[in-house]
């Protein structure tokens, strides 16, 4: 039997293999699902989508993929029991392809594979959609050749797509069919038709994948996610990917990575010296500077393991008092999926600043409410969400979370605490006004006027 190193060229079905096709579709449907409080199972949604997409591709093989998605969108929602979308909503669904996220191991693996193989795209999308993906979540990776369904005029599993690719790589690279490996997740779109034209294939098994599965699996090599990472020198620590992130803002990324491995002064990071409320109040520019590289840091496993719930809480405080409320959503989501972080286990910071202390206590109490709301909907911190088949099904049971006891003893902000604050942030009855139309009752109990909608985004 031939070995992987005997081949010269890998062809990738990008969506489902390199890009989280299913996650991207579900994310693009969240507006419709959330607006109508629909709790449909992931499996049901994806099965309905896959059948509609497959039938439409066979019916209109020349249709551009973004237009095809927009075309099936109204029928998809109808079959899911949801209201008919507007034309703008269907167009947005079709254009969502370019925003679908790459799997975490994708770009690092491509960089390693490119040292040994020509890498070719054989995708069912259109040129414009793929260009957006390549510039976005694939970080501009330079594939050797890109072939889309739009170039061919048909969609996989049509074997003409594979014949077109074989002809193209023969002409451009002098690669014979026996030197080509189809690398894909979908049995339906890739492995079965590749077998029909004599192409060997590598099955990339993405755990939990629904679409493209067939009972009769065919492949020459099978790589589970962990083996895919191992073959490409990747580990759960994602050291290479961490270096890529660190290069964005460190002159010596390797030194910065090594420092992340050194438990000094302790393994868990201490809370940085917090900014005084009066210094960061309404100071969006300061907050933007503080958050400039936070997304990169949160993507580094070593940094996440050394981060703490208290540090996250202080980041929420700074986002709120600076007026940069949009940073609360991602921070809440990050906290939620740090499943070993316990709200009840948050220790009393005993903060010396009464305004900051009051905001921190309110945040903890409101996070308890927000997290229980998520649990009531069936969301789970380990990502094993429980989805209802229809909106009429009963909500799943859950064990409510509770918060720490220290927050109950944190006093409200007094008028004296606000003496140095600008008048536009102090109401006539001596309350701290962070949002003039704020109605949240938890914060109101400590004389803070604000809303907390960003804690409830999903």
Prior bond of 157 cis (ω within 30°): yes
CA–CA dist 221, 183 (Å, integer): 9
Among the ranges given (54-68, 241-255, 283-297, 337-351), the one the predictor scored with the smallest mean pLDDT:
241-255
Q: Please check the confidence at residue 317 and state whether its pLDDT lies above 60.
A: yes
Which of these, 298, 443, 449, lies nearest to 367 by C-alpha position? 443
Question: What is the mean pLDDT of the segment spanning 89-102?
Answer: 95
Q: What is the pTM (predicted TM-score) of this model?
A: 0.53
Average pLDDT over residues 282-302: 92
Nearest CA-CA partner of 300 in 236, 389, 354: 236
pLDDT at 456: 92
Domains of the chain: 4-15+104-231 (3.40.50.1000), 21-98 (1.10.150.750), 263-455 (no CATH)
In which residue are the tokens 């990050």 written?
Answer: 334
**What pLDDT is attached to residue 395?**
80
Pairing type for strands 200-205 and 145-148 reads unpaired
Residue 128 pLDDT level (bands cut at 50, 70, 90): very high
3-state secondary structure of 122: strand
- What's the whole-number average pLDDT of the chain? 91
Q: What is the pLDDT of residue 40?
A: 81
Q: pLDDT of 150-164, one tens digit each?
A: 999 999 999 999 999
pLDDT in tens, 203-260: 998 878 899 999 899 988 887 654 454 444 445 677 777 887 888 888 898 899 899 9
> Is residue 13 among the annotated active site residues?
yes
- Residue spans of alpha helices (H) in 271-346: 277-280, 284-290, 294-298, 301-306, 309-322, 328-337
CA nearest 452: which of 374, 381, 367, 361?
367
Residue 66: name the closest of 45, 93, 100 by CA. 93
**Of 13, 108, 126, 190, catalytic:** 13
| pLDDT(3) > 90 | no
Where is pLDDT greater, at 261 or 64? 64
CA count, 13 A, side-chain hemisphere, 136: 17
Across 27-31, 43-47, 148-152, least confident range: 27-31
> d(Cα 365, Cα 370) in Å, to the nearest integer?
9
Q: Does the pLDDT of residue 2 top 70, yes or no?
A: no
Are 390 and 81 a contacting pair, CB within 8 Å? yes
């Amino acid at each position: 039997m031939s070995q992987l190193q005997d081949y010269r060229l890998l062809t990738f079905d990008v969506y489902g293999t390199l890009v989280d096709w299913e996650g991207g579709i579900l994310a693009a449907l969240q507006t419709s699902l959330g607006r109508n409080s629909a709790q449909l199972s992931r499996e049901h949604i994806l099965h309905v989508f896959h059948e509609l997409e497959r039938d439409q591709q066979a019916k209109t093989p020349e249709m551009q993929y973004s237009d095809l998605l927009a075309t099936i969108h109204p029928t998809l929602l109808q079959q899911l029991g949801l209201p008919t979308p507007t034309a703008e909503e269907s167009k947005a669904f079709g254009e969502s392809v370019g925003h679908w996220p790459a799997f975490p191991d994708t770009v690092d693996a491509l960089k390693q594979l490119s040292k040994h193989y020509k890498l070719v795209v054989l995708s069912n999308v259109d040129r414009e959609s793929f260009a957006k993906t390549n510039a976005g979540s694939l970080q501009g990776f330079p594939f050797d050749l890109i072939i889309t369904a739009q170039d061919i005029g048909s969609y996989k599993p049509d074997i003409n797509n594979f014949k077109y690719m074989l002809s193209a790589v023969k002409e451009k690279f002098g690669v014979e069919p026996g030197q080509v490996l189809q690398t894909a997740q979908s049995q339906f779109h890739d492995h079965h038709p590749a077998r029909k034209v004599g192409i060997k294939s590598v099955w990339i098994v993405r755990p939990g994948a629904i679409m493209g599965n067939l009972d009769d699996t065919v492949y020459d090599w099978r790589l589970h996610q962990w083996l895919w990472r191992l073959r490409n020198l990747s580990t759960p620590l994602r050291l290479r990917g961490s270096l890529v992130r660190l290069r964005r803002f460190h002159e010596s990324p390797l030194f910065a990575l090594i420092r992340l491995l050194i438990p000094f002064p302790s393994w868990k990071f201490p809370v940085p010296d917090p900014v005084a409320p009066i210094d960061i109040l309404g100071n969006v520019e300061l907050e933007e500077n503080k958050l400039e590289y936070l997304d990169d840091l949160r993507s580094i496993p070593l940094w996440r393991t050394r981060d703490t719930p208290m540090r996250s809480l202080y980041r929420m405080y700074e986002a709120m008092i600076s007026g940069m409320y949009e940073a609360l959503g991602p921070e809440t989501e990050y906290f939620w999926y740090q499943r070993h972080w316990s709200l009840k286990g948050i220790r009393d910071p005993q903060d010396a600043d009464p305004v900051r202390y009051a905001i921190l206590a309110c945040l903890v109490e409101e996070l308890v409410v927000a997290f229980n709301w998520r649990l009531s909907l069936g969301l789970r911190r380990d990502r094993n969400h429980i989805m209802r088949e229809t909106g009429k099904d009963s909500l799943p049971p859950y064990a409510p979370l509770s918060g720490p006891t220290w927050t109950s003893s944190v006093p409200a902000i007094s008028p004296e605490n606000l003496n140095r604050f600008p008048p536009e942030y102090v109401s006539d009855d001596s309350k701290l006004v962070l949002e003039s139309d704020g109605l949240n009752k938890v914060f109101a109990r400590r004389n803070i006027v604000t809303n907390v909608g960003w804690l409830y985004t999903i």
